[in-house]
Amino acid sequence: MYAWSTSYTALITAAFTVVIALATIAYVVYTAKLWQETKKSADAATKAAEAANISAQAAKESADAAAILHRPLIAWDNSATPSISNEGTSRIPIDLHNFGTLSAIHLKAHFELHTESTTESRNLFFYSDLGPLEIPPQSGHHTALFLKLGKDRHMKVTSATTNLILTLKASYDTPDGREFEYTAEAKLDLAQDRFVTSKSETRDLHPRPITPR
């Protein structure tokens, strides 16, 4: 009877030991899975936050770029034909056009006429100032330069022994306080009967940097 009782007790103890071991294994497995799920959730939250930050940064950069592009853009339309006179007054039409999306305000322009040839350096003989004025977006301003070339200079220009060079420097602002400068240079082309632009540039005098990602 005693031997049976001892065997029964040992059997119960072994059974409880197995149950505890299985429970421990189950708890370990459950804890590991719970940790994995928690980590996945944390990783997903981190990625979502990173994606939100990237999206916000991209939206900011897009807004900054749009603000930079939302501006006036002054250019010289030199398609008009100048009237070069021998003895009288020569007339050089000037058309400034705003191709941008904002008004160009406080615009001031400085024009210079030079002669230049292979045997003589550039020589300034005429200048004129314009402004201040305002040119709305997609609008233009028409004016003209009036000057006397003189017989000698007229002969050299019309015989193509001397080039007639026109330079333009214009500064203007935007309603939101930005400042720009436009410069251009053109040479009188007798065959086309107009001034042909050889170079031009627009500079933002105080550019707004776009913050990199």
**What pLDDT score was predicted for residue 134?**
97
Residue 105 makes CB contacts below 8 A (sequence gap 6+) with 134, 172, 173, 174, 175
**pLDDT (0 to 100) of residue 206:** 84
Residue 116 is predicted with a pLDDT of 93
Q: What would the DSSP string read from start to end of 55-111?
A: HHHHHHHHHHHHHHHSS--EEEE--SPPB--SSS-EEEEEEEEE-SSS-EEEEEEEE
Cα–Cα distance between 75 and 93 in angstroms, integer? 14
At 165 the pLDDT is: 95
Residue 50 CA to residue 63 CA, distance in Å, equals 20
- The whole domain housing 128 covers 74-204
Q: Is residue 61 part of a domain?
A: yes
Conformational region of residue 208, where left means phi above 0, alpha means psi within -120 to 50, and beta covers everything else: beta
- Which pLDDT tens digit goes with each residue over 16-57? 676 666 667 766 667 767 777 776 776 666 666 655 555 555
What is the C-alpha to C-alpha distance for residues 79 and 91, in angstroms, rounded to an integer?
14
CA distance 125 to 165: 10
pLDDT of residue 175: 94
Domain count, the chain: 2
Distance of alpha carbon 114 from alpha carbon 186, whole angstroms = 10
Residue that terminates a domain, selected from 69, 96, 122: 69
7 and 82 assigned to the same domain: no
pLDDT at 198: 92
Decide if 209 is inside a domain: no
State residue 81's pLDDT score: 84
pLDDT for residue 52: 59
Q: Report, as ranges of residue numbers, the positions in the chain whose pLDDT lies below 70.
A: 1-16, 18-23, 26-29, 32, 39, 42-68, 208-213
In a domain, 173, yes or no: yes
- CATH code (residue 119): 2.60.40.10
